[in-house]
Amino acid sequence: MKVQPYLFFDGRCEEALEFYRKVLGAEVTMTMRFRESPEPHQPGMLPPGAGDKIMHANLRIGDTEVMASDGRCTGQPAFQGFSLAAAVANAAEAERVFTALSDGGQVRMPLAKTFWSPSFGMVADQFGVSWMVMAVA
């Protein structure tokens, strides 16, 4: 079994993919727009003009594959009840990643030494996705 996160950005997926590519070095390995669907969508399933929005995307962040979509394109992404944990090599990399994810976001716990990590912090990025950033050495 393989469990993968699937994030719905409600109309901001393309922006999010570019952000993660820039700040995390993510590689977008696949995108399909709603207009490219091999089957037509049911009437009322998408708002007008959503054809260029992302129906499905795959991105690789380090060794992890994450899936993403614009979903219903409501413009109101709501990420609650989970965090993505980014384990990085050292405190300097934790600082770089944490600072990049914080840009336009909200720091929930500043980076600090903990009993399990020399550098751990929590942040919600500009899309509302919660991250726990931790140095493993």
Spell out the alpha helix ranges (H) of the chain: 13-24, 91-102
* Identical fold, 6-69 and 84-135: yes
Residue closest to 64 by CA, chosen among 134, 5, 123: 5
C-alpha torsion sign, points 103, 23, 57, 48: positive
Q: What is the mean pLDDT of residues 105-131?
A: 97
Tokens of 37: 């669907």
Q: Provide the CATH number for the domain formed by 6-69 in this structure.
A: 3.30.720.100
Domain boundaries, the chain: 6-69, 84-135
Give the pLDDT confidence score for residue 91 in this predicted structure.
97
Q: From 79, 85, 104, select the one nearest 19 (Cα to Cα).
A: 104
* pLDDT exceeds 80 at position 121: yes
**pLDDT score of 90:** 97
Q: Is residue 107 over pLDDT 80?
A: yes
- Span 28-55, pLDDT tens digits: 999 999 989 888 877 777 777 888 999 9
Token pair for residue 88? Answer: 């990085």
The pLDDT-based confidence of 75 (bands split at 50, 70, 90) is confident
Q: Which CATH number applies to 84-135: 3.10.20.600, 3.30.720.110, 3.40.50.300, 3.40.640.10?
A: 3.30.720.110
